[in-house]
Structures are given as C-alpha cells and as structure tokens.
Amino acid sequence: MRPFRPPTSGDTLRTWLHGLLGAAVGLLPLAAASLVVATAPRDWPAPARTAVLLTAWAALTVAAGCSRRARSASVRVANRLLGTDLPAPVAAARPRGADRLRTGTWLLLHTVAGGALTAVTAFASATAVALPAVWLNGGDRVTILRPLDVPGGAAGLWTLPVAAALLVLAGHACAAVAALLRRAAPALLGHGPAERLAALESQMRRMAQRNRLAQELHDSIGHTLTASTIQAAVARSLMDTDPAAVRRALTGLEEASRAAMDDLDHALGILREEHTATAPPLTLADLHTLVDRVRHTGTDVRADITGDPAGVPATVSREAYRIVQEGLTNALKHGGRSPVRLRVTVTPALLELEIANPVPGRARPPRAERRGRGLTGILERVELLNGEAATGPAPDGTGWLLAVRVPLRQAP
C-alpha cells in the first residue's frame, strides 16, 4: 500500500466517500443518544453527560449493525469502496450472537473512523484552499484553530507549501483509514464458523452437481458418438448394396443425435444457471429405445427384461438407465459388432443389470487399474445407490461381463 494517495485519485475519493457514509450512519444513533441525555437529571456534570452520550451512541450503533441486512450492506459497501474481497453472507447460515456482535463492532469502527476521516480531510482541504485565497486577496487575519495573520505579497508565500502539506495530510489520512478498515474487515465482516461450514457445504453441492452433469454428458455424448460412428460406417459399407439398411442406420443416427442434443441443452442450461423445464426423461422405461438405437449400428442386442421397470424408484431408474447406456457404449467400443446380451431383472427388493459381450482376440478390454471415465462413472453411480458392481472377464471365459446389483428397499 502506498502511504500517500493524491487527494484527487479514485482510491482516495472512494475511501473518503466510504468514511462519509460511516459518519452519516452515525448521525441517527447520535440523535437518539442525545434524546437519552436530554432526559437525564439537570444537575449532572458535563463530563457525566458526555460519557452517557458516548456510551448510548456506541450501544445504539452496535445494535444497528447486528441485523443481517446491515451486514450485507456493509460487505457490499466495503467491497465497492475499499476494494476488499469479502464473501457475501450465507443466507442458509443462522447468524449467531458473536457474528452479530462482530458486525456491530464493524459499524462502530466504520462510524468512528469515517467521522474522523471526514473531519480531518474537510479541515485540511478547506484550509489548503482558504490560506492561498486570503494571500491572493492581499492578506488578512483569519482564524484556523487560533487567530492567524496572513500577509500579502512575498511575505505570504508560506501559505503555498502549507496548503500542499495539508493536502498531503489529507492523502495520508485516507490511506491510513483505508489500511485500518481493510485490515479489520475480514475479521469483523468475514464468515464465522457457521457460515464457513454452510459455504463449504454449498460449494460441495455445486461441485457434486457439476460432476454429476459432467458424468451425464460423458455418458450421453459418448454413447451417441460411438453409436453414430458405427452407424455411419454401416451406412457407408451398405450404400450400394442395401439402401434400406442405410436408411435405417441414418434414421438411428438422427435419433441418437437429437437425444444427445436434448441432454446437452439441459446440462448447459443448468451450468449457466438458467431454468430448464424438466430433465430428459431417461429411465429404465426408455431401454427399448436405447436398445433399438444400438441395433441400428448393426450390433445384435439380445435384451431380456424381467419384472416391471416402472416400479423402480425414479432416482434408481435414472441411474440404472445411465449404467446400461455406458455399458452398451463400452460393448460397442471394445466388442465391435459382436452380439451383446442385456439382462434386466426387477424384483420388489433388488434390481439386477448384466451386460455381456464377446471380445475379439485383437481387442483388449481396459484393465481394472486403467479404468476410463465411463467405467469409473458406473462404479460411482452404483456406490451412490448402495449397490454392488463387478466388471471383468466372464466366468466362462467367453467375453466381458458387467454385473450390477442395486437394492430397492432397505433390509428389515
């Protein structure tokens, strides 16, 4: 921090305005305190009246700063005029007595420092203007704290360096008050323990939501790109021999791209903090559409769905859909056009998902220690649902198997 700020600099003007606001805020408690002193016995000595006046004024000022609105306003004003970087109060955190007292103490400090700064800078600036003005008018006797003779002519040239010194004093006063308030602001207006905890919880929720959206985009866009690539390859290879198959492949590519765009718009709307009507309705009830989309790539998907997917709780159903989607995407990536077996079993207490596919000899599925984001996302979803997941070579050695078990109700 520079010790001197020119009186006309933006920082000095903002600091002075901040002090002026503090001085103005202190006028109302001062008026109320004066009413208190007015009711005191007339035989009280002047020192006692002054002590009562100052005590009542300080108490009323601290009380005025204990409200949530006063703290929010103080934070905004300090950030705007003092250049601090204070976090906004957390609405979810209930302010405690110590937090309210800190804010009241800040308001008292702001009022005292602002009143002193306003008085010093106003006196220094007015005197710095008055002395040269009197000298230029031929000199005269003026009273500045005490009577002072200002001669005209060369004898009065001393008024110029005195005026400059007074302006320097005003700059130093603004710098000193700004430094004091900036140092005190984090301690008096910063987050208390309850607010820090609430802010941390809010940040963790936002991070969890963003991670969830990133996983949603990975699953949706990754599946669409994989399926679209295979469908485009199928269309190209059959373009001259089977136009009907080409049309089916292109139709599947169009539907997959449209669904991915819906997911992308939804996720971006949330990331931009915009309102989106409803989340894309992707649940176990949409498995048939998902399976048909994969079949359009030329991959034989043998789906066996037992039970009623509509009876699965909505949250579990959405997560299970994404697990199946990512499992089928991995099967397309690593299994080529080998047939894929999908088994979904729904019972009142359990949801079981199995995806199995042969792996060509030249294709090597990812090792457990080299899991991609898709497999990691599957395991994270299963963990959140308190389920179990196993992935690796099938027990019979015929391919790759993803098996998931999710409880639908708590054990008694």
Output the six-digit token pair for 59: 């108490």
Q: How far apart are the first and last CA of the chain?
A: 66
Output the six-digit token pair for 255: 């539907």
- Helices 287-295, 243-271: inter-axial angle, 10-degree rounding: 130
Q: Whole-prediction pTM value?
A: 0.52
The answer to whether domain 198-407 has CATH 1.10.3720.10 is no
Report which of 271, 225, 222, 218 is spatially closest to residue 377, judged by C-alpha positions.
218
Distance CA 322, CA 262 (A): 15
Q: Say how far residue 311 (Cα) sits from the centre of its chain.
A: 37
**pLDDT reported for residue 133:** 92
Distance CA 159, CA 133 (A): 9
DSSP per-residue letters across 135-184: HHTTEEEEEESEEEEEE-GGGGTTHHHHHHHHHHHHHHHHHHHHHHHHHH
* Segment 8-59, tens digit of pLDDT: 567 778 888 998 999 999 999 999 988 888 887 878 888 888 898 899 999 9
* Segment 353-407, tens digit of pLDDT: 999 988 765 445 444 444 456 677 788 788 878 889 988 888 776 688 999 999 9
3-state class of 328 per DSSP?
Answer: helix
* pLDDT tens, the chain, 412 aa long: 444 455 556 777 888 899 899 999 999 999 998 888 888 787 888 888 889 889 999 999 999 888 888 888 999 999 998 888 888 887 656 667 777 888 899 999 999 999 999 999 999 999 999 999 999 998 888 888 888 888 888 888 999 999 999 988 888 888 889 999 999 999 898 887 777 776 666 667 666 666 666 666 666 666 666 667 766 776 777 777 777 777 777 777 776 676 666 666 655 665 565 544 445 567 898 888 888 888 877 788 899 999 988 888 877 888 888 889 888 888 887 766 678 999 999 998 899 999 998 876 544 544 444 445 667 778 878 887 888 998 888 877 668 899 999 998 654 4
**pLDDT reported for residue 192:** 77
Q: How far is CA 107 from CA 19, 86, 120, 324, in A?
A: 11, 15, 20, 59
Report which of 364, 363, 353 is spatially closest to residue 401, judged by C-alpha positions.
353
Distance CA 171, CA 133 (A): 21
**pLDDT reported for residue 247:** 76
Task: State which amino acid sits at residue 144.
Answer: I
For 2-51, list the strands marked E by DSSP.
Answer: none
Distance CA 42, CA 167 (A): 43
- Over the range 38-49, which residues count as b (16 or more CB within 10 Å of their CB) and which as e? eeeeeeeeeeee
Q: What residue segments make up the domains of the chain, in order of their start?
A: 10-191, 198-407
**pLDDT reported for residue 222:** 66
Q: Which bin fits 397, alpha (ψ -120 to 50), beta or left (φ > 0)?
A: left
